[in-house]
């Protein structure tokens, strides 16, 4: 009788020891993101966070989850992996800011075919940096090997953010009335949306390479496309501590038409002047060389504005002065009027 072949989990494609080495490196990166409330983080079966340590009277937890999308393909093509982690944090944290919440903690899910510890550690360094910028703790996560599901070196990411807001301070769309002012905060470029269209135009139609230096951009195409999504936590939290903002819209996939109406009550329409802010060159390149219509640009990209704030007419000037004091660029882009809920770009 033939002897049975002995097989191990590693031989089947899962390297437990590599995973343990990665956990050690993640723990070191996460240590720099610690904040009040953290009781137990990476290393256990679950993490612990003490909301009572934050002195909220009636705390309401706010959560969001997201990924990075096909921006990961650009990271893989560039073999640069220490920025997409920032994007991962930004996409979820910016969403919970729209409720007026304070980011508390973040968890990630990293899945690959075969674990490359150095690559994964690079991604996690970016996640930790994103958490540092957001003021939240990298409290846990999961690393998974799925042999056969991903080619060597490829991976995917998901992120999960939890924040807290005082119940009485949850932003209330019903408070938005005609005459309220719309204030736009600049994006850092594409952020993490519209990359399938951007790659189609820039790489396939135009035939550009990621290493090409583009005069309009002042840097290489790859550097532009990997520019991390801006995290607005510090700016938004500073504003909310002094001004009662009525609404905050995170401009992601769907652009202004798909996102700004989410913070408007029925009977309120946002009127926005297109020439009121500067559109970064990357969007102009995509539109010009791809023959992309303006409505398609509007519902695919942020077009240079990553967050839109709704402020009362009396508070708008104060919000602007506060932003200037923080050294933040901003644009007064329009106002709220009566009408069917939606956006009118003129």
Q: Are residues 70 and 182 in the same domain?
A: no
**Are 29 and 131 within one domain?**
yes
Residue 135 and residue 269 in one domain: no
Question: For residue 10, is it within any domain?
Answer: no
306 is a domain residue: yes
* Inter-residue contact 165 to 99 (CB < 8 Å): yes
Are 209 and 103 part of one and the same domain?
no
Cα dihedral 27, 84, 111, 17, rounded to 10, equals -40
Contact 166, 240 (CB under 8 A): no
C-alpha to C-alpha distance for 154 and 52, rounded to whole angstroms = 41
Say whether both 116 and 263 belong to one domain: no
In a domain, 2, yes or no: no
Q: What are phi and psi of 312, to 5 degrees?
A: -60, 155
305 lies in the same domain as 243:
yes
Listed residues 149, 169, 189: the one ending a domain: 169
Which CATH number do you get for residue 83?
3.30.1330.10
In the β-sheet with 155-166, what is the strand arrangement from edge to edge? 59-66, 155-166, 102-112, 137-145
Whether residue 199 is contained in a domain is answered as yes
DSSP one-letter string for 100-125? TPEEEEEEEEEEESS--HHHHHHHHH
Domain boundary among 169, 199, 234: 169
Same domain, yes or no, for 189 and 311? yes
With respect to residue 1, please indicate whether it lies within any of the assigned structural domains. Answer: no
Number of folded domains that form the chain: 2
Does residue 4 lie in a domain region? Answer: no
Q: What is the pLDDT of residue 19?
A: 61
Among candidate residues 169, 200, 224, the one where a domain is terminated = 169
**CA atoms of 56 and 231, how far apart (whole Å):** 24
b/e for 124-144, b at 16 or more Cβ within 10 A? bbbbbbbbbbbbbbbbbbebe
Domain range enclosing 76: 16-169
Same domain, 165 and 197: no
**Same-domain pairing of 203 and 111:** no
For residues 119 and 209, membership in a common domain is answered with: no
The number of CA neighbours under 13 Å toward the Cβ of 296 is: 11
pTM of the predicted structure, to 2 decimals = 0.91
State the Cα angle at 152 between 127 and 142, rounded to 5°.
35
Question: Do 99 and 186 lie in a common domain?
Answer: no
Digit-by-digit pLDDT tens for the chain (346 residues) are: 555 666 555 655 555 566 667 766 777 776 777 788 887 867 777 888 888 889 899 999 999 999 999 999 999 999 999 999 999 999 999 999 999 999 999 999 999 988 888 898 899 999 999 999 999 999 888 888 898 888 888 999 999 999 999 999 999 888 999 999 999 999 999 999 999 999 999 999 999 999 999 999 999 999 999 999 999 999 999 999 999 899 999 999 899 999 999 999 999 999 999 999 999 999 999 999 999 999 999 999 999 999 999 999 999 999 999 999 999 999 999 999 999 999 999 9
Task: Tell me, yes or no, whether 130 and 210 share the same domain.
Answer: no
CATH number at residue 188: 3.90.650.10
Asked, for residue 9, whether it belongs to a domain, the answer is no
Q: How far is CA 73 from CA 69, 77, 153, 160, 254, in A?
A: 8, 6, 11, 21, 21
Domain for residue 11, yes or no? no
């Amino acid at each position: 009788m033939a002897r049975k072949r002995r097989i191990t989990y590693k031989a089947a494609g899962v390297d437990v020891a590599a995973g343990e080495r990665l956990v050690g490196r993640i723990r070191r990166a996460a240590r720099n993101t610690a904040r009040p409330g953290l009781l137990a983080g990476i290393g256990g079966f679950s993490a612990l966070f003490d909301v009572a340590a934050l002195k909220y009277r009636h705390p309401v937890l706010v959560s969001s989850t997201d990924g990075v999308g096909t921006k990961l393909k650009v990271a893989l093509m560039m073999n640069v992996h220490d920025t997409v982690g920032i994007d991962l944090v930004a996409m979820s944290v910016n969403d919970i800011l729209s409720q007026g919440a304070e980011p508390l903690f973040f968890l990630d899910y990293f899945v690959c075919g075969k674990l490359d510890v150095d690559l994964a550690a690079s991604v996690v360094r970016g996640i930790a940096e994103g958490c540092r910028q957001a003021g939240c703790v990298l409290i846990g996560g999961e690393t998974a090997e799925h042999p056969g599901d991903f080619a060597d070196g490829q991976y995917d990411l998901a992120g999960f953010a939890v924040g807290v807001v005082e119940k009485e301070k949850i932003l209330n769309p019903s408070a938005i009335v005609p005459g309220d002012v719309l204030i736009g905060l600049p994006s850092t470029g594409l952020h993490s949306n519209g990359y399938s269209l951007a790659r189609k135009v820039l790489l396939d139609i135009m035939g550009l390479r990621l290493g090409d230096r583009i005069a309009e951009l002042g840097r290489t195409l790859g550097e532009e496309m990997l520019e991390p999504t801006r995290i607005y936590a510090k700016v938004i939290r500073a504003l909310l501590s002094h001004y009662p903002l009525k609404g905050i819209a995170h401009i992601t996939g769907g652009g202004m038409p798909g996102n700004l109406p989410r913070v408007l009550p029925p009977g309120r329409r946002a009127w926005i002047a297109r020439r009121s802010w500067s559109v970064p060159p990357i969007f102009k390149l995509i539109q010009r060389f791809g023959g992309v219509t303006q409505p398609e640009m509007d519902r695919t990209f942020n077009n240079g504005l990553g967050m839109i704030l709704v402020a009362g007419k009396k508070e708008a000037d104060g919000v602007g002065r506060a932003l200037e004091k923080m050294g933040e660029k901003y644009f007064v882009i329009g106002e709220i009027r009566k009408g069917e809920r939606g956006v009118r770009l003129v």
